[in-house]
Homo-oligomer: A and B are copies of this chain.
Amino acid sequence: MQKLTDQQEQEVQEQLALYRQGVQEIIPLKELESKIRTSVIENRPLKIKLGLDPSAPDVHLGHTVVLNKLRQFQEHGHIIQLIIGDFTGKIGDPTGKSVARKQLTEDEVKHNAQTYFEQFSKVLDMDRVELHYNSKWLGEMKMEDVIGLAGKITVARLMERDDFEARIKEGKPISLHEFFYPLMQGFDSVQLECDIELGGTDQHFNVLMGRHFQEKYNKEKQVVILMPLLEGLDGVDKMSKSKHNYIGIDERPEEMFGKTMSLPDHLMMKYFELITDLPLEKISEINASLAAGQMHPRDAKMLLGRTIVRMYHGFGASERAQEQFISVFQKGSMPDEIPELQWNGSEEVNILELLVNVNLLPSKSEARKMIKNNGVKIDGTKVEDPNLIVRVQEGMTVQVGKRKFIKLLVDGE
């Protein structure tokens, strides 16, 4: 192996240390180091892959765990390859059973990719991102190529995937085409000769497919970097839109801040580490201060909230969001837990109807009276007009008097 200069060796070690931060697993670490080394010697960027599902373009902070890692690679000159898995989206579900896998049109796919692109631009430098649609190569494969691909993996290996294994045990059917999703994801890496693929730990099986098939097609194997999954605001499940426990990357500053404040204390440090841009030393400091009792958890959480808002809306917005939060909730008697209510009515609704419908007030006349007495607030803002048409939004807080709060959930799934 070529000998590196001291400066080059330092560069390799710096990159390696950075990329290892906060990851769950690197498979294998040795190869990552070797790839960085080659990249430094040859002054050649590595190709870092992230696969995206074209059917669910709503990006939340859970996704930024991976995006932040990609950003680190970008900062050292590497190339990000975003792969829109539009081929599976276009073919839909051939069994016709699953509603989730409904067929997307060409336009929907493009639109969703655009949505990703816009949202990702808040974290990544999109001028240095390659955007690929895997229908370009998968759509061109013929039966002969498919058989060739299928001949490079065993049935037993595929059945090791957790969800397949579970369904087999439970006697639930697996349609044969489902075996092809991991194959296709693996083949994407063959096609684009990816050096590294990122994914959440729940993608363990699928991202390893890239290594498997690259080897079978006599390509250099990619390194797999698995990022931890971020628990959502409930502190239990993985952050996801369907669990209503997420903070969207596009949400308003007050909403982001307020939601952050509702996070269980024990997850704060994980959030600092995985989804903020604070340097490691700063995060260690906060952790130490908390442990020593020199910092109140609420203050740490407000710093987390400000940091998140600052990352997506800038400094000014982060300060305002905190002030707003303090004036509305903290100075009032904000309950520890705001009851949540699923809103199934129309998107736009008269304020009086809303108040009655969610049982905050018994009648429209009571509601009108309460508004006159300045007793109704939406997201902390006083309602003055009893004819106000409210546009119901996810997480919108409705307050009546000092004690009665309700948070509205919108069925967006």
Contacts and interface: CB of A to CB of B under 8 A. Distances in A.
A143 B177 CA distance: 11
Assembly of this chain: how many copies? 2
A140 to B, nearest CB: 7
A97 to B, nearest CB: 9
Contacts of A180: 147, 150
A173 interface: yes
Contacts of A144: 90-91, 139
A141 B152 CA distance: 20
A207 to B, nearest CB: 19
Given A94-B151, A139-B142, A143-B138, A176 B177 contact: no
A146 interface: yes
Contacts of A158: 176
A133 to B, nearest CB: 14
Nearest to A152: B94
A56 to B, nearest CB: 20
Contacts of A359: none
A208 to B, nearest CB: 16
Nearest to A90: B144
A156 interface: yes
A256 to B, nearest CB: 40
A139 to B, nearest CB: 6
A95 B152 contact: yes
Contact of A143 (B93, B142, B156, B175): B142
Contact of A151 (B93, B148, B154, B168): B93
Contacts of A154: 173-176
Given A146-B146, A150-B179, A155-B155, 19 more contacts: A87-B143, A91-B144, A93-B151, A94-B147, A94-B149, A95-B151, A139-B144, A142-B142, A143-B146, A150-B180, A153-B175, A153-B176, A154-B174, A155-B159, A155-B173, A155-B175, A155-B176, A155-B179, A156-B173
28 contacts: A87-B143, A93-B151, A94-B147, A94-B149, A94-B150, A94-B151, A94-B152, A139-B142, A139-B143, A139-B144, A140-B143, A141-B142, A142-B143, A147-B177, A150-B177, A150-B179, A151-B175, A153-B175, A153-B176, A154-B173, A154-B174, A154-B175, A155-B159, A155-B174, A156-B173, A156-B174, A176-B179, A176-B183
In the A-B complex, the 10 residue pairs with the closest CB atoms: A94-B151, A150-B177, A151-B177, A150-B176, A141-B143, A154-B173, A155-B174, A94-B148, A146-B146, A147-B177
